[in-house]
Amino acid sequence: MTLLHDQLISLRAVEPEDLDNIYAWENDTCSWTNSLTTAPYSHHQVRRYIASTQSDIYKEGELRLIIECNADHAVVGIIDLCDLDVRNSHTAVSIYIASEYRHSGHAHAALSILTRYAFDFLKLKQLYAYIAVSNTASIRLFTKAGFSTTALLRNWIYENGHWTDVQLFQLINSNA
């Protein structure tokens, strides 16, 4: 097993061929509350993003990786490290799985691989995620991956016509 693979999936850099998938995912309004997106992205914007990304978390402060199924090379989602704080050695994690691939183990595999990469290769001290209390699937995913709830942010996001609490999940690298 290599660093960015397991038996089920592989994580890889974004390619120009990913344009249509990223465009669709970024414009999935059902996930905008979780991603804090407030407006649609154009094909031009996504194409420009893909062309400009260097896949270097230390230069850009973020790293976006495509989640690809090993069996058939289907692109099933995307996982990000973002808001890197080099001085304090932590970064946020976000993940999106296309609806037809949810509840199939892809998200857990991707989060496990990304955690191993962040801790063993990047030598980061901690990963964190903000998750709305209404997002029970993500709460289960991050809990199963070993993240712990360390804070509750009251009325943090406006969702479906009312204010919603958000939980802060953290995973500490005990070897860093």
pLDDT band at 8 (very low <50, low <70, confident <90, very high): very high
Residues 150-163 pLDDT 10s: 999 999 998 889 99
**Looking at the domain assignment, is residue 86 inside a domain?**
yes
Residue 140 lies in a domain: no
Q: Is residue 146 part of a domain?
A: no
Residues spanned by the domain of 71: 9-124
43-52 vs 19-26: helix axis angle to the nearest 10? 120
pTM of the predicted protein model: 0.91
Which range is least confidently modeled, 11-25, 32-46, 69-83, 148-162?
32-46
Contacts of residue 71, Cβ cutoff 8 Å, sequence gap at least 6: none
Q: What percent of the chain has pLDDT over 90?
A: 70
* Mean pLDDT for the stretch of residues 139-151: 97
pLDDT at 34: 67
Domain CATH for 65: 3.40.630.30
Looking at the domain assignment, is residue 97 inside a domain?
A: yes
Rounded Cα distance, 93 and 79, in Å: 7
pLDDT digit string, tens, across residues 100-122: 999 999 999 999 999 999 999 99
148 inside domain: no
Q: Does residue 83 lie within any of the structural domains?
A: yes
24 is a domain residue: yes
What is the structure's pLDDT at 31?
73
Total domains present in the chain: 1
Q: Assign 24 a pLDDT band (cuts: 50, 70, 90).
A: confident
Domain membership of residue 133 (yes or no) is: no
Examine the pLDDT at 2 and tell me if it is beyond 70: no
User: Measured between alpha carbons, how far is 162 from 73 in angstroms, rounded to an integer?
Assistant: 40
